[in-house]
Amino acid sequence: MSIKLIAIDLDDTLLDDHLTISPRARETIREAVRRGVAVTVATGRMYRSALPFARQLELDVPFITYNGALIKCSISGEIILHIPVRRELAQQAAELCRVKNWYIQTYVNDMLYVKELDRYADMYSALAGVEPIPVGENIYKVQDPPTKMLIVSEPDNIPDIQQTLQNVFNDKLYIVSSKPMYVEITDPAANKGRALELLAARLKIDRQEVMAIGDSGNDLEMIKYAGLGVAMGNARPEVKAAAQAVTRHNNDDGVAAAIEKFVLI
């Protein structure tokens, strides 16, 4: 079957290490769209952090944000899907972070909340292009169900943090490391694979006609779901193992190369 829908991760996939989309990737995606292929972004980023890239690519397909917890149209603003973390579970996670002294940030109504503007908050703000809102100790008091929660720590700490969360919450939360310093928390029904499945059904596109391109742990579900899962050359080993194909590095136009090879043929 020919590919009719392409889902592309942003960080370390479509974006190079300078957080830019190359001219080649931009033109390749536009050519795919001209040929009738639907192209969407599938990212762990918040909606307003991903929106400039979707607009840069002139995409009019709903795109997947917050690791699949929110699907929203970039043009109309229509929300197709929103699955926030249950408030009581978010409160438990926040309290655990307080006790463990882990940095935690939360996302509510597409706003980013942090305890204080420290090194981790500044680092994330520079990456996402979003100004965080400091709320002090209120970061540990969950009032509204967050779309996502994010723990940031040094890379050596991440495996232990992830394992602790898994031990406490089991399958009550979806816990995944998307970058060496990040542990992301969403509702268990929210992941990129399920979101992509819903979007494909909405567009009446068969699973075998879907291509997904990604690099990290939060891309695994959509790589497995897609008829053609493509891992970046810089992808984690488990992502490469799950993919049907491996393309080039994100700094070497891996996304463009994959689309040229499998779609623009």
**Beta bridge mates, 151:** 104, 183
- Any catalytic annotation for residue 9? yes
What is the b/e burial string over 27-61, where b = at least 16 CB atoms within 10 angstroms of the residue's CB? Answer: ebbeebbeeebbbbbbbbbbbebbbebbeebebeb
CA atoms within 13 A on the CB side of 79: 11
**With contact defined as beta carbons under 8 Å apart, do 218 and 67 qualify?**
yes
CA–CA separation, 121 and 132 (whole Å): 7
Residue 79 phi, psi dihedral angles, 5° rounding:
-90, 120
Report the alpha-carbon distance of residue 79 to residue 256 in Å, rounded.
29
Any idea which residues carry the catalytic annotation? Answer: 9
